[in-house]
Structure 1
């Protein structure tokens, strides 16, 4: 199983901190999983210009191909100005409409105010649904108060991250079995 974590911003540290903990949890609980972190701050990504994702080269090509090859994706995003960062939206724009078909996508969000959970419900989930993702409905919402010195200090948040990892892997395994069983019905 290939799991890709996306840290969806080029600024700040909270989302990366949360993603590091999340992917560490994946590696500990599911050592057979192939885990890749894409921190958008570490790459030079082109703006989408409408080309097929396979035509991009360099960092942009690496990121799009890695996402397309994944079985599951864990998206970590901060909320800025009541929206997801443009860097994350650009990743979605680089991919085809059906990019997340047969993929499980879960979310982890860092925000400065509790009201920003609405952005996930009204902005990010519709994008993922449009791109045909199998969405893990519960997501982890982490507020400013849950961090101290680049560490997550709220035990409930850590528990919710562990549950998110379990749900992501379990849904991925379930959808894979369903898809394989359905494909067995065909004779080609």
Structure 2
């Protein structure tokens, strides 16, 4: 299985810390799966202009094709102005409407305050559902107070990240089996 861990912002460190921790967990618990990290700060991504994602070049094409080739995606996003960052929205705009069909998507959110937890429910999950993702129902919400010296120090957050990794892989595996059963119904 191909898993992409997407750090959905070009600034800040907390989302990257959380995504890297998730990658560590996935690589430790599921070494048989291919895990790729896409830190948007490391790429020069063009603004979406309506073209098909394969018609872009360079970093934009690489990031879009890597996401499209994934079986599961872990999206890490900070909360900016009670919303997702423009860099993450641009990634969604670069991809086709059905980009997440047959893909499992889980979410890690960082925010300065607990008041932003509904951003996932009111903004991010509807976008993912529109793009046909199999959304892992639970997500990990990490506040400023859960970090100290560039590390996650809240044991509950670490436990929830491990659980999110398990849920992501289990749900992705389950949907692969469901798809195989469904495909076997067709005799052509």
Q: TM-score, normalised by structure 2?
A: 0.99
CA displacement at 1:187 relative to structure 2: 1.8
| 2:184 corresponds to | 184
* SS of equivalent residue, structure 1 residue 77: strand
| 2:53 corresponds to | 53
Alignment of 1:1-188 (within 5 A): 1-188=1-188
Q: Deviations over 1:114-144 (max 9, x none)?
A: 0101110100000000000000010000000
CA displacement at 1:84 relative to structure 2: 0.4
* SS of equivalent residue, structure 1 residue 47: coil
Whole-angstrom CA distance in 2 between matches of 1:172 and 1:184: 18
Unaligned runs of 5+ in 1: none
* SS of equivalent residue, structure 2 residue 117: helix
Q: Deviations over 1:57-99 (max 9, x none)?
A: 1000000000000000000000011110000000000000000
What RMSD in Å do the two structures reach over aligned CA positions? 0.4
Whole-angstrom CA distance in 1 between matches of 2:60 and 2:148: 33
CA displacement at 1:167 relative to structure 2: 0.2
Whole-angstrom CA distance in 2 between matches of 1:38 and 1:136: 20
Q: Which stretches of structure 1, 4 residues or more, deviate above 6 A after TM superposition? A: none
